[in-house]
Structure 1
Amino acid sequence: MPKSVSSSDNSFPAAAISLLRYRTQAPAARTRVLLPQHMFTFLLAGEKTVHFAGAQVTLQPQQFVLLAAGNCLMSEKVAAPATDYHSLLLLFEPHLLTDFYHRHAAWLNQLTRPAASQPFLRFAQDAFLTTFVQSLDCLLTGATAPPQELQLVKLEELLLYVALHHAGQLQQLCSLGRETNEDVLVRQAVTAHVDSPVAVKELAFLCHMSLSTFKRRFAQLYGTSPQRWLLARRMEKAATLLRQPGRTVSDLSDELGYENRSSFVQAFKQVHGVTPKQYQVAK
């Protein structure tokens, strides 16, 4: 059988590069995933949403995305009952990306650097990329996994094509590859606790940083303070919960980690401009 990954498996092979098929009728609703490698996802059927610490990306069929190594939350949906969720995955070690930079440095350095980077790169499939994905699909129809050498050739082909036709996105990819270990640690800590009532000083502790160093790193990565970012995420969740029947303001203040109801009401109004009760009545 060709290489594949099961619907319940959130771990990935340790080879330098791995081409896999992922197909299921029971995709994960929301799964915490630690990606030890960068990963291209080519979505063939269904819908996929990936949450990072500071961003999220949703894929429709005939789109693909490059996800940076690190922690993320993945949600997958089938298009209709009794249909499959189907994607092809190309995972590769970060050092392969670094090697690509070095071999093509003179060319890549001529590209315009974008203003900011995200922990993902999303592309729409054109005629070339459609054919490219079909070639990957063919490689997975045999009884054995394609040789590592052939998979490396396919990765090189894809990266060169991205460089030719998506220069800005490639520079984002380059910046991801150059992130320091501390930057990756900040992203991973925040992503892992995105739904937890965790304090900024606790995140700094988890990252083995002083509070001032953590705040500086966070601002460089996300363009805002960790307090503002965490407040916005908490209040997004609060608004979602308030739209559910039977939820009370007191319940939510406890669930979101506030010491008292008044602090929660003040925080909600700061973000949404109305009190939680007013928001609930309006919705």
Structure 2
Amino acid sequence: MPIDNIPELYLNNLKHKPDLFVYDFKMTEDTIKTKVNLNMHMFSFLQIGKKQVHFAGTSVTVNKDQSLLLKKGNWIWTELLDTDAIYYCKLLFFSEKILEDFLEKHIQHQQIIKEEVPYFTIRNDAYITSYLNSLSTISDAPTVFIENLLSVKFEEIMLYLIHKYGEKFELYLKSLIVKETSPFKKIIESKIHSNLKLEEIAFLCNMSLSTFKRHFINEYKTSPGKWLQDKRLQKAKEVLEQGQLTPSDIYLDFGYNNLSNFSIAFKNKFGVSPKEISK
């Protein structure tokens, strides 16, 4: 599977990489588990459709009522059409320099953040809708003004989100400049209830598949395929036993593309169907 380098894929002039860049991403068919090397931090303001993203230590799924702020790095994401025949999100990329300048200007007493937090979920509201409309207007401005206008708009959305989410968002922004890398086992165990293949998890670990398998066997003394399947099904059973979710709610999260395959694997392991467990 090829790796998409973003935002370079969207830039007309690769020799000049701006500190701020807006791109309207649209598609008319689903894209499943695209490997992305994200080279700048990025707002993904989802307008139509559904998006699922995986980072080294975590994953998240959002719909058109939510947007994401993503840390630069290796991601795997799936973008799905909803009831409409188009998927649309507005992407706002920003450099670490822009972020550091903003933090220095607006956030005092910057304590050191040790935890690496790859994403922040944003609830779309009327202000954000208005903000996105204003970004679209900027694209029509003379080129000479766009850079300065984007700088103002970047500061605006950051200040609004600090107002909306308070210290939680401030801490997230500080975490974006942390250079810490997640340990191998933390990445593996965070993917127990994901729908990623081994080769995709290896990518998130910045390893080839063969290197990943060697590391895995050294750590867990068994093959990664069998270990992950057993762990995912065991976790799925625990979730269903709580009685709050049904098999239809969780099968995608536990590595299965349809409910039928999940039910067959579950019954082969436990002797009962997932529907019986959730009753």
Query: Normalising to structure 2: TM-score of the pair?
Result: 0.63
Contact kept? 1:114, 1:168, Cα under 8 Å: no
Flag structure 2 segments of 5+ consecutive residues without an equivalent: 9-16, 209-214, 234-253
Q: Which residues in structure 2 correspond to 1:129-140 (within 5 Å)?
A: 129-140=128-139
| Inter-partner Cα distance in structure 2 for 1:71 and 1:165 | 28
Contact kept? 2:57, 2:182, Cα under 8 Å: no
Amino acid of the residue matched to residue 12 of structure 1?
P
Amino acid of the residue matched to residue 271 of structure 2?
Q
> Of 53, 59, 69, which aligns to 1:50?
53
Task: Give the direction of change, closer, same or farther, for the CA distance of 1:27–1:153 in structure 2 (3 Å limit).
Answer: farther
Per the alignment, residue 269 of structure 2 pairs with: 276
Q: Which residues in structure 2 correspond to 1:8-19 (within 5 Å)?
A: 11-13=6-8, 14-19=17-22
How many matched pairs?
A: 224
| Inter-partner Cα distance in structure 1 for 2:119 and 2:5 | 18
Task: Give the direction of change, closer, same or farther, for the CA distance of 1:166–1:107 in structure 2 (3 Å limit).
Answer: farther
> Of 210, 232, 238, which aligns to 1:236?
232
| Inter-partner Cα distance in structure 1 for 2:274 and 2:125 | 46
Per the alignment, residue 125 of structure 2 pairs with: 126
Deviation at 1:106, TM superposition (A): 2.1
Per the alignment, residue 86 of structure 1 pairs with: 88
Contact kept? 1:46, 1:61, Cα under 8 Å: yes
Task: Give the direction of change, closer, same or farther, for the CA distance of 1:75–1:108 in structure 2 (3 Å limit).
Answer: same
Per the alignment, residue 153 of structure 2 pairs with: 154
Amino acid of the residue matched to residue 136 of structure 1?
L
Across the aligned residues of Structure 1 and Structure 2, the Cα RMSD in angstroms comes to: 4.3
Deviation at 1:78, TM superposition (A): 1.2
Per the alignment, residue 177 of structure 1 pairs with: 176
Task: Give the direction of change, closer, same or farther, for the CA distance of 1:115–1:281 in structure 2 (3 Å limit).
Answer: same
Flag structure 1 segments of 5+ consecutive residues without an equivalent: 1-7, 207-213, 215-225, 250-271
| Inter-partner Cα distance in structure 2 for 1:115 and 1:158 | 25
Query: Normalising to structure 1: TM-score of the pair?
Result: 0.62
Per the alignment, residue 261 of structure 1 pairs with: none
Q: Secondary structure at the match of 1:80?
A: coil
| Inter-partner Cα distance in structure 1 for 2:201 and 2:261 | 29
Q: Secondary structure at the match of 2:155?
A: helix
Q: Deviations over 1:155-203 (max 9, x none)?
A: 11111111122113323323422322x427969x869xx6327999xx6
Q: Secondary structure at the match of 2:53?
A: strand
Q: Which residues in structure 2 correspond to 1:1-283 (within 5 Å)?
A: 11-13=6-8, 14-80=17-83, 83-106=85-108, 118-140=117-139, 147-180=146-179, 182-183=180-181, 195-196=197-198, 235-236=231-232, 240=256, 244=260, 276=269, 278=271
Deviation at 1:63, TM superposition (A): 1.9
Amino acid of the residue matched to residue 101 of structure 2?
D
Amino acid of the residue matched to residue 119 of structure 2?
F
Deviation at 1:247, TM superposition (A): 11
Task: Give the direction of change, closer, same or farther, for the CA distance of 1:198–1:64 in structure 2 (3 Å limit).
Answer: closer
Q: Secondary structure at the match of 1:183?
A: coil
Task: Give the direction of change, closer, same or farther, for the CA distance of 1:34–1:42 in structure 2 (3 Å limit).
Answer: same
Deviation at 1:51, TM superposition (A): 1.4
